[in-house]
Amino acid sequence: MYSGAFAMMHSRAQLAADFQSLGVAAGDLVMVHASVRAVGEVAGGPDEIHLALKDALTSRGTLMMYAGCPQYVDEVGRSNLSAAQEREVLDKLPPFDPDTARSARDHGVLVEFLRTYPGSRVNRHPARFVAWGGQAGDLLAHQPWDFAYGRESPLDRFVSLRGKILLLGCDHDSVTFLHHVEHVADIPGRRIARFKVPIMENGARVWRDMQEFDTSGAGVHPNWPDRFFARIVGSYLSQAGNRGGRVGDAWCHLFDAADLLRFARPVMERLAVDPRAADHLRELPDARATR
């Protein structure tokens, strides 16, 4: 017999109603960043969160998340590992399999629940996205091998398809879409990360060279301040008067990706030539969340 404390649980129907109240509409294309812990206790477990969001989107809508790749797949050459560690990774790591590889752990657990749920699709790139719904095929149709967040990427098509970003109780510093802005903006002096990833070619594992504008914690430009993405998002939401709302226990925001692009691009372009250009940017008080 259960004798512990019993917390109030959120149902799938309640969460779907919360998503609708936040502004999620039938037929929308939504890219979500989520903290499952922030949502609170959910009857049926974390799958009920993405199922509730799908209920709000309906079969005409599309859900998207960034999954990335497991540890070490894209680490060789980034100078994050010692020479001995790199040799061991080069010797032992299996090729990246986009269909079976787990999502990057630092993106939260919901993306792995979505990735492994029937009906989800992934693209073939280590900078991997998961999508469900009517526009999934268009989003995942192609991704450039190099500079995979830029032109002709899933994020580029996400903007063209009028996608919306949903922050579900998560840290605002985690908005992957802002890497797309870094790739398409006119930013002199961007850092370029060059590394290798293991893939299967003609039945054999090979380490293929790849490059991107640096998406690591170091930042794409020396002028980027600490928690730059969170400061961009906080300032954007404040300027837009977007106060957000609750889904379960989580404080959330929903906004248009193209609007964020229009806001963030000139901020980045100014900051690249003037280190003081970010002085006015401020995080929202509730920007941090734990997963």
Q: What secondary structure does DSSP assign to 66-84, as a single string?
A: E----TTTTTBTTT-S-HH
243 burial level (CB within 10 Å; 0-12, 13-18, 19+): exposed
Q: Please report, as a single letter, which amino acid is at residue 102.
A: R
Do strands 164-168 and 250-256 pair parallel, antiparallel, or not at all (unpaired)? antiparallel
For the stretch 47-86, pLDDT in tens is 999 999 999 999 999 999 999 999 999 999 999 999 999 9
Full 3-state SS string of 164-204 = EEEEECCCHHHCCHHHHHHHHCCCCCCCEEEEEEEEEECCE
pLDDT for residue 4: 58
Task: Find, among 180, 144, 147, the residue nearest to 31 by Cα.
Answer: 180
Q: Cα(99)–Cα(140) distance, rounded to whole angstroms? A: 13
pLDDT for residue 217: 85
Task: Find, among 182, 191, 158, the residue nearest to 265 by Cα.
Answer: 182
The whole-model pTM stands at: 0.94
75-78 contact pairs (CB < 8 A, 24+): 75/195, 76/195, 76/196, 76/197, 76/207, 77/194, 77/195, 77/196, 78/193, 78/195, 78/216
Q: Please report, as a single letter, which amino acid is at residue 219.
A: G
pLDDT digit of tens for each residue in the chain (291 aa)? Answer: 555 555 689 999 999 999 999 999 999 999 999 999 999 999 999 999 999 999 999 999 999 999 999 999 999 999 999 999 999 999 999 999 999 999 999 889 999 999 999 999 999 999 999 999 999 999 999 899 999 999 999 999 999 999 999 999 999 999 999 999 999 999 999 999 999 999 999 999 999 999 999 998 889 999 999 999 999 999 999 999 999 999 999 999 999 999 999 999 999 999 999 999 999 999 987 654 433
